[in-house]
Amino acid sequence: DGLHARAVAAGKKYFGTEISGYVMNDASANNIAKNSQDFGQYTAENEMKFDALEPSRGTFSYANADRIVAQAQANGQIMRCHALIWHSQVPSWVTNGRFDNATLISILKNHIANVVGHYKGKCYAWDVVNEALNEDGTYRSSDSVWGRTIGPAFIPIAFKAAAEADPQAKLYYNDYNCDKPGAKSTGAQNLIRMVKAYGAPIHGMGLQGHLTTGQVGSASQYVSNLQAFANLGVEVAFTELDIATPSSNPNFNQQATDYATIVSACKQVAACIGITTWGFTDKYTWISNSYPLIWDRNLQKKAAYNAILNAWGSS
């Protein structure tokens, strides 16, 4: 029994976690991550990003990411692979290179061909493009080397390149603040239509789910949002769920309720195939001064754990 076992019993593909090399180096924490009853899926926190994998042009560095994939395979856990093209964590040789449109397209295609090729058959899904939208749903441009040099066409170009390198992988667009209906969620739906209009494949929408305790609200708004993506013919997943509560004054019961709300929403929509949390223990979280996860900083289960089990239902 566990978080993943209950998700599978509810008809989902996985419940998973983000993991990283430094968490794997903590044997007690890693024992939790290796329990495939709780986690059926991993996402690498930083190890598969552009700067990690192609630190200098044409030189690929796979060892740290391979270590995560190897642990997943040893425990029968699948990989969501993250992330091919993003404006952040791009190496300076790309951002400072002042490449023209055609050269940057060839750099993008070469990166995708190499990386997706290296992991061919090992990634259930790829986050092909990450965070390409502004909050109002327009395409990010000035602060993205890809958007400002190539324009929004970099998005379908990336999806085509990923499909050529691994025709079996589910190809996702992934973003934050698209979790509920609103301008950015509508923008993501338009992005999916745009990729299809270019004749490129897109199979999934990743809702990151970086949420705040007490501001989650009711399941119904998440259900209708999930359904809006499903209506476009793509699957949907919560890809980076965490629910912040301040370490100075945490509210773990409200947090547990909020985790259950998201699980319940996913459970209600067939196209929602799984949930990944952005880490599992408050000992290791990207959010400073917060306790957003399911195990506390002493690696003990919090109220959220049983709330998630109950929200999935019996095993």
Contact criterion met (CB below 8 Å) for 72 and 79: yes
Minimum distance of ligand G3I from residue 225's CB (angstroms): 18
Provide the mask over 50-89, with x wherever binding to ligand G3I is found by CB under 6 A and - wherever it is not. --------------------------------------xx
Decide whether 174 or 264 has the Cβ nearer to ligand G3I: 174
- For ligand G3I, the closer of residues 131 and 166 by Cβ is 131
Distance from C-alpha of 298 to C-alpha of 314, rounded to nearest angstrom: 28
Q: Shortest CA distance to 165 belongs to which of 202, 112, 215? A: 112
Whichever of 35 and 64 has its CB closer to ligand G3I, that residue is: 64
Least Cβ distance, residue 3 to ligand G3I (angstroms): 20
Considering beta carbons, is residue 45 or 258 the nearer one to ligand G3I? 45
- Contact between 92 and ligand G3I by CB under 6 A: the answer reads no
45 binds ligand G3I (CB under 6 A): yes
Q: Among all chains, which residue has been given the structure tokens 């992934």?
A: 174
Q: How far is the CB of 64 from ligand G3I (least distance, A)?
A: 10
Least spacing, CB of residue 124 vs ligand G3I, in Å: 18
* CB of 130 vs ligand G3I, minimal distance in Å: 6
Taking the complex as a whole, the smallest distance from the CB of residue 24 to ligand G3I amounts, in Å, to 14
Q: Which residue sits closest to ligand G3I, CB atoms considered? A: 286
Residue with smaller CB distance to ligand G3I, 56 or 306: 56
> Omega into 7 within 30° of 0, i.e. cis?
no
Is residue 282 a contact residue for ligand G3I (CB under 6 A)?
no
Question: Total residues contacting ligand G3I (rule CB under 6 A)?
Answer: 8
Among 194, 83, 182, 200, which residue's Cα sits nearest to residue 131?
Answer: 83
Write down the catalytic residue from 47, 131, 235, 240.
Answer: 240
> Alpha helices, DSSP H only, in the chain?
3-9, 21-24, 27-33, 50-53, 63-74, 92-95, 101-118, 145-150, 154-165, 183-197, 219-230, 252-268, 303-312
The closest alpha carbon to 91, from 18, 172, 145, belongs to: 145
| 265-298: burial string, b at 16+ Cβ within 10 Å, e else | bbbebebbbbbbbbbbbbbbbebeebbbbbbbee
Q: Which residues of 82-121 are buried (b: 16+ CB within 10 A; e: fewer)?
A: bbbbbbeebbebbeeeebeeeebbebbbebbebbbebbee
Phi-psi region of 50 (alpha: psi -120 to 50; beta: other; left: phi over 0): alpha
Please check whether residue 223 is in contact with residue 229, taking contact to mean a CB–CB distance below 8 angstroms.
no
Active-site residue 131, yes or no?
Answer: no
93, 198, 252, 286: which one contacts ligand G3I (CB under 6 A)?
Answer: 286
Q: Using the rule CB under 6 A, which residue among 35, 46, 61, 310 binds ligand G3I? A: 46
- Residue 276, beta-bridge partner list: 16
**Beta carbon nearer to ligand G3I, 174 or 257:** 174
Task: Please list every residue from 127 through 146 that binds ligand G3I, using CB under 6 A.
Answer: 130
Touching ligand G3I, residues 190-249 (CB under 6 A): 208, 240
Residues in contact with ligand G3I by the rule CB under 6 A:
45-46, 88-89, 130, 208, 240, 286
Residues annotated as catalytic (active site), given as ranges: 240
